[in-house]
Structure 1
Amino acid sequence: MIDRAFALLTAFTATRRAMTLAELSRASGTPASTTLRLARRLLQLGALERDADGRYVIGLRLWELASLAPRGHGLREVALPYMEDLYEATHQHVLLAVRDGADALLVERLSARDAVNVLYRVGGRLPLHSTGVGLVLLAHAEARLQDEVLARPLVHEPEGVPVSPAALRRTLAEVRRTGLAVVERSKPGPVVAVAAPVRGGDDRVVAALSVVVPAGGAEARVLSPALRATARALSRSLGSPRSAAAPGGPSPARP
């Protein structure tokens, strides 16, 4: 029953935020009678709500519970002051993501009103193999997951360009060596993304911090020092011993 209830909740997506009972049944693959019974109970619990047209939408109770997730809202609360400093330096996009299985999950994004168009939204999933934050998280993931990802047929989307496993493995090694991932994309607009790892109290990489700017707007070598310093400062706030001992580099505006 829990699996079926979760199937109803996960049937909602960024492009499918409100559904009738019939639509919810089809999207979740759940029989209509079961969908009705579960939807009524989820309404009572606040996990679902009804909009002005009577369609089902995700309820605020789920948002309330999700805000307790330490790898999401908790990390975001610590990271926001540092992200704001980085945003002031770029006035484009600043992203914070964590790894969830074989995806990167975006937990926060600061963006200027006139920033270059990107496909990323808070709460959305990003591919590990073709985004700045994804490459950082994959580079520092366990070898088993790296092998699983590299064994799949991978494509850069939305460009539709195949990814060479050998080239990706070299890229991951370079990310570990330099502490940065640099990605240039042509769609939906020409952008450059530079990402750095964020470490936690056990010194493992717990998140990735990234800036995304228009191609030609800034070079990676210009963005890298500020990004490194901000990621290191955030890591210190999370208790990383390696970052506490890291020498040099510009200091962020906030301690």
Structure 2
Amino acid sequence: MTEGQLRKRTSGIDRTLQMLDILADKQVPMTVYELAKSAGAPASTIYRLVDELVERDMLSRREGNVVWLGPRLMRYGMVYRGHVDAIALAEQVMGKLARQTGETVQICTNDDDMMLVVAMAGGEGHFRISSEVGTRVPLNWTASGRLLLGHLSEPERIARFARLAQPSRTGLAETDPKVLSDQAAADFAARLAVQLNASEFSVACIAAPIRDAKGVCIATISIVTADRQVEMRGDELAAAVQAAALEVENAVGH
């Protein structure tokens, strides 16, 4: 294979991943023109790649001539997810915690320096949140986001927050890298982080880290509820979420 052919193949792989990322981030089907515009790529290139990916079930065409993720990706995702024991166990504990507290519970991980909601169980209460499975938000917006970087060294935490911190829609999320670094370290040491109104008004997040054998935060389990619930039963919810995280760690031998 010549160097020119290698560059062409690499470019095709990069464009493919870029399109998949765009669809995952937007979470809606898009036309090929919209994909090309978002990717900043020639429409002819995107049309060719889309045809190839549809043929291989990596993408699918839907009514209205729009493109969406394909069934082959689901198979890959299910195989990957089935081998992440901690996440599978966390989902079981998540359901139990939602029933115990009556609140919405989420499992979150770090996805390319964004907090990703990978699983969620709704509680029996009337409070509902807008973040569903697949939602990605900046790490500095949430209690879980801080915990996901809490195990890093101080220079690493500061560098990461300096690169990724963004103002939130409410304007209440901290953006100073040093302040975020100190909060993350303290939260991780306490095995508990609480955040109010940073990503959405009147919404609170109470999170605990799920650590691997090396002490790395591989995921978080969190209760997402109305901010008034923190005032009314904050200690109860904090103890419950910490116990749930520890149950997962113990179950997988961490």
Shorter chain as denominator, the TM-score bin is 0.7 to 0.9
| Residue 88 (structure 1) aligned with residue 102 (structure 2) | no
User: Which of residues 216, 220, 226 is equivalent to 2:234?
Assistant: 220
Alpha-carbon distance in 2 for matches of 1:156, 1:135 = 15
What are the equivalent positions in structure 2 for 1:1-255 lying under 5 Å apart? Answer: 1-13=12-24, 15=26, 17-70=28-81, 74-112=85-123, 115-152=126-163, 154-161=165-172, 163-185=175-197, 188-217=200-229, 218-240=232-254
Q: Which amino acid aligns with 1:3?
A: D
Q: Is the 8 A contact 2:86 2:248 kept in 1?
A: no
Structure 1 residues 52 and 222: alpha-carbon distance in aligned structure 2, compared to 1, 3 A threshold: same
Alpha-carbon distance in 2 for matches of 1:194, 1:57 = 34
Q: Which amino acid aligns with 2:63?
A: A
Kindly state the Cα deviation for residue 150 of structure 1 after the two structures are TM-superposed: 3.5
Q: Provide, for residues 185-233 of structure 1, a one-character-per-residue CA deviation record: whole Å limited to 9, x for no partner.
A: 1663412211111122444321111101112224321211111111101
Kindly state the Cα deviation for residue 70 of structure 1 after the two structures are TM-superposed: 4.6
Kindly state the Cα deviation for residue 26 of structure 1 after the two structures are TM-superposed: 1.2
Which deviates further from its counterpart, 132-141 or 99-108? 99-108
Kindly state the Cα deviation for residue 167 of structure 1 after the two structures are TM-superposed: 2.9
Q: Which amino acid aligns with 1:87?
A: A
Kindly state the Cα deviation for residue 113 of structure 1 after the two structures are TM-superposed: 7.2
- Give % identity: 25
Q: Is the 8 A contact 2:138 2:164 kept in 1?
A: no
Structure 1 residues 78 and 155: alpha-carbon distance in aligned structure 2, compared to 1, 3 A threshold: same
Q: Is the 8 A contact 1:67 1:74 kept in 2?
A: no
SS of alignment partner, residue 194 of structure 2? strand
Alpha-carbon distance in 1 for matches of 2:202, 2:83 = 29
Between structures 1 and 2, the one with greater helix share: 2
Kindly state the Cα deviation for residue 136 of structure 1 after the two structures are TM-superposed: 0.9
Which deviates further from its counterpart, 172-181 or 33-42? 172-181
Q: Is the 8 A contact 2:168 2:198 kept in 1?
A: no
SS of alignment partner, residue 64 of structure 2? coil
Which deviates further from its counterpart, 32-41 or 165-174? 165-174
How many aligned residue pairs are there? 240
Structure 1 residues 71 and 202: alpha-carbon distance in aligned structure 2, compared to 1, 3 A threshold: farther
TM-score (norm 2): 0.83
SS of alignment partner, residue 68 of structure 1? helix
Q: Provide, for residues 133-169 of structure 1, a one-character-per-residue CA deviation record: whole Å limited to 9, x for no partner.
A: 1111121235454121343484441112453334323
Gaps of 5+ in 2: 1-11
